[in-house]
Structures are given as C-alpha cells and as structure tokens.
Amino acid sequence: YFPVNICFPSNLIPGAILLDVILLLSGSYTLTAVVGGMAWGLIFYPGNWPIIAPLYVPVEYNGMMFTLADLQGYHYVRTGTPEYIRMVEKGTLRT
C-alpha cells in the first residue's frame, strides 16, 4: 500500500518466458496453469529482491535511524480524513 515503485514491470518477463516454455513443452493449458502459475510465483517473488535491496539501507533522519523504505512510507501522505483512515486500518467500515 505504498507507492507503485516497489514493484517493477521487468520482473514479469522471466515469469512470462517460463510460462511460454512450459506451454511449449507440454501443450496443455491446464498443466501450464497449474505448474506454470506456481513457477511464475516462485520466480517473481525473489526477482524483486535485488531491486528493492537499496531501499533497506539504514539512514539517519532527524536524529533517528530509518531504512529508506520506512522513510518513504513516512513521507507518503495518504489522502482522506483521519477518521476514515482509522476505520480502514481497524477494518470496521460499515456498508
């Protein structure tokens, strides 16, 4: 729920190639959906780590130690009234 720059489109390409290879080798959409979907998730998850790693470098800000990711979340202002944000965080919105 922080800015979109935490996920990069370049991470989709290795998973897409893997899905295509599984479909090419098996010829079955069902097998591709089951095995390829699992493989895509396993490839996508660690693929973000080298890109996100610099965000976890410690920095000093106003005399406190933060990671860059925490500092980014600290400066990312959520729009909305505070009461609404509290209700969303608490999970008690009425419909």
Domain residue limits, the chain: 1-54, 57-95
What does the pLDDT read at residue 20? Answer: 94
Report the interhelical angle of 37-47 vs 12-26 (nearest 10°): 160
Q: How far apart are CA 28 and CA 39, in angstroms?
A: 15
What does the pLDDT read at residue 2? Answer: 43
Q: Which residues are registered as beta bridge partners of 64? A: 61
What are the pLDDT digits (tens) for 20-58? 999 999 999 999 999 998 998 888 878 777 877 888 888
Whether the per-residue pLDDT at 92 is higher than 90: the answer is no
pTM for the whole thing? Answer: 0.51
